Amino acid sequence: MNKNKVFFVLAVLAMVALLLTACGVDKTKPGTAVNLTGDPVAGKVVFDANCAKCHGAAGVGGVSNPGSADETVPGLAPIDPGFNTVASMDLEVQHGSEPEGNNPTLQMAAYGDKNLLTQQQIADVIAYVLSLNK
């Protein structure tokens, strides 16, 4: 492949990446994890590795978040009644969130949008959090 073709291909790829970034992600739509059956045992492993540092062991909360409205990361056991469905939890895990407040130190990562977790891992974490609230 000559240099002009290589340059053209790279330019096209850069334009596609730019367009995808500009389009963004629809944060009102859940990921495909909502259609999967989660395994709470596998979810605990994923939770311990990715979520416990902010939500506390077993989701009990109590982790400080200076700059957020209430100065803490919300606990998940018990979970706020507005977030106790698969669909609502999926939106948070897929797209992340920024807590209310002037300058929160911690923000929830967009684990689905950024492919930090697979959709099955997200379904497993949701199943684990639901199991903590039975």
Per residue in 24-60, pLDDT (tens digit) is 678 788 899 999 999 999 999 999 999 999 999 999 9
pLDDT of residue 19: 42
Q: What CATH number labels 26-132?
A: 1.10.760.10
**Helix H or strand E encompassing 132:** helix 119-132
pLDDT, one tens digit per residue, over 103-127 is 999 999 999 999 999 999 999 999 9
Cα dihedral value 35, 39, 40, 44, nearest 10: -110
The per-residue DSSP string of 7-26 comes to HHHHHHHHHHHHHHHHH---
Q: Running DSSP on this structure, what letter comes out for residue 28? A: T
Question: How far is residue 90 from each of residues 27, 57, 65, measured CA to CA in Å?
Answer: 11, 20, 22
Q: Running DSSP on this structure, what letter comes out for residue 64? A: B
Partners of 12 in the beta sheet?
none
pTM for this one? 0.79
Question: Tokens standing for 56?
Answer: 């506390």
SS3 89: helix
CA nearest 31: which of 81, 85, 95, 84? 95
